[in-house]
Amino acid sequence: MRAINNKIFPSIALCSLLFGMQGCKESTLIFPEQIDVDVEDGVIVKGPVKQNNFAVITNNDELVQFDLSTVDRERVKSLYFSHDVNGERVDTEVTNFDEVYVIKNLPLRTATSVEVWASGYDDLLSSKSAYLVTPLPYPSAVISKSLVFDWQINAGYIRLSNTTRTSASFFYKIDNGAYQEVLIASPTLDLNIDIEGLTKGTHVLSYYIKDLNGGQTPVLSKEFYSQDIEKIPNTELIAEVSSTESGEGAGNGVGASLIDGDVNTYWHSTWSSSANPIFPHWIILDMGSIRSFTRLEMIRRHNNTAGGFKNFTIEYSNDKSVWNVLQKDLVFNSADSPASFQQYNFTPTSARYIRIFITTPHNGTQTNTHLAEVNVYEVK
């Protein structure tokens, strides 16, 4: 016997790899020329029966299927398939070429050699040939491995990706609630399922995944602890801004307008001086002491959708000297209609000062900016 040369199968290995990650374009894999494995005294021994190439189907169903419809039925009486199972060789004779021959229980995502030979009506045998086959796990198993669960105070999310070629459904519940179903189409990258509004305390997420190929995961569970958050009263905040505009009328233009609880007043950076400051602009919120903040809410100016800003970065500090970046390049919609509070959640972070560092204008041309109101939430 001579060893199987894996290099003769580059297209198979590549397709199997792609299939496991994102799926090949065709559901049927046609294997290249077979490898003759019977050798006597250095000479390949060939029987009188023609050995056909087969279509080998590897779907996300943990099976390997041989489509035998192209077998030369005038010359071939039966086919023999041979492969290792737990260290033992198993030979199977197949005489019905109208049905797909299925091999189960092969190692998943692992190339396995399957030897095939034919018997003619004169009972003479062909030489043996070998196929490298790679069964793929059910989509439900693949999707389950992509699951990311994260909990932030009284809100969390489940993130899923489906890189197989088959759709599936994600079933989940919190504690003793009813299961909810979410379709995970094929393909889907980074599907987020938001969970909000849970009370303080320990909770259990239970879930399972079921796919259209017949696969289903067991019911799995994750325990997590939910904390409450509360809005810091505006009276406990101080707002400092990069510049102010005096020409916006009473109650407007100054930093205090950001925390007065009135969405009809607003802060505006300077636009009327001979040397107007340009981007970036900034807002610093002093929480009075070190607190564990976890959420910001901002609402645009009520009577202007043309100005404002688009991108900003959240930073934090304990001394207003050294600033640490918490989240970068966040997006604010200065033209949403109707105007509403836009929410930004963070991992609970201990600090006294929060800086909203505004980097990009809303329309790309203006040099000043404005904002109506800011709310800060902390862990109880």
The rounded distance, in Å, linking the Cα atoms of 226 and 156 is 9
Nearest to 330 by CA among 345, 348, 347, 308: 345
Tell me the C-alpha to C-alpha distance, in Å, between residue 107 and each of 8, 33, 83. Answer: 21, 24, 12
The pairing of strands 88-94 and 101-103 is unpaired
Q: What is the pLDDT of residue 34?
A: 54
- For residue 254, what are its two tokens? 């100054």
Q: What is the pLDDT of residue 279?
A: 97
Name the stretches of the chain with pLDDT < 50: 1-32
Question: What are the E-state strand segments in 33-87?
Answer: 35-36, 39-40, 43-44, 55-57, 64-67, 76-85
The pairing of strands 43-44 and 39-40 is antiparallel
Q: What is the pLDDT of residue 54?
A: 80
- For residue 99, what are its two tokens? 């049905």
Q: What is the pLDDT of residue 228?
A: 79
The rounded distance, in Å, linking the Cα atoms of 178 and 189 is 26
pLDDT in tens, 144-159: 999 998 876 666 789 9
Domain spanning 234-379, CATH class: mainly beta
The rounded distance, in Å, linking the Cα atoms of 193 and 131 is 42
The rounded distance, in Å, linking the Cα atoms of 67 and 63 is 13
CATH 2.60.120.260 in the chain is located at 234-379
Phi, psi dihedral angles at 202 (to 5 degrees): -85, 135
pLDDT in tens, 113-150: 999 999 999 888 888 888 899 999 999 999 999 999 88
Identify the burial level of 12 via C-beta atoms within 10 angstroms of its C-beta, where 0-12 means exposed, 13-18 middle and 19 or more buried. buried
Q: What is the pLDDT of residue 127?
A: 84
Helix (H, G, I), strand (E, B) or coil at 256: helix
CATH 2.60.40.10 in the chain is located at 139-227
Question: What are the E-state strand segments in 200-237?
Answer: 201-211, 220-226, 229-231
CATH architecture for the domain at 139-227: Sandwich (2.60)
Say if CB 354 and CB 285 are below 8 A apart. yes
Enter the pTM of the model: 0.55
Sign of the Cα pseudo-torsion (262, 263, 265, 270, in order)? positive
Percentages helix, strand, coil for the chain (3-state, rounded to 5) are: 10, 45, 45
| Topology at the third CATH level for domain 6-133 | Immunoglobulin-like (2.60.40)
pLDDT in tens, 320-344: 999 999 999 999 999 999 999 999 9
What b-and-e string marks burial along 221-231, b requiring 16 or more CB atoms within 10 Å of the CB? eeeeebbebee
Q: How far is CA 163 from the centre of its chain?
A: 9
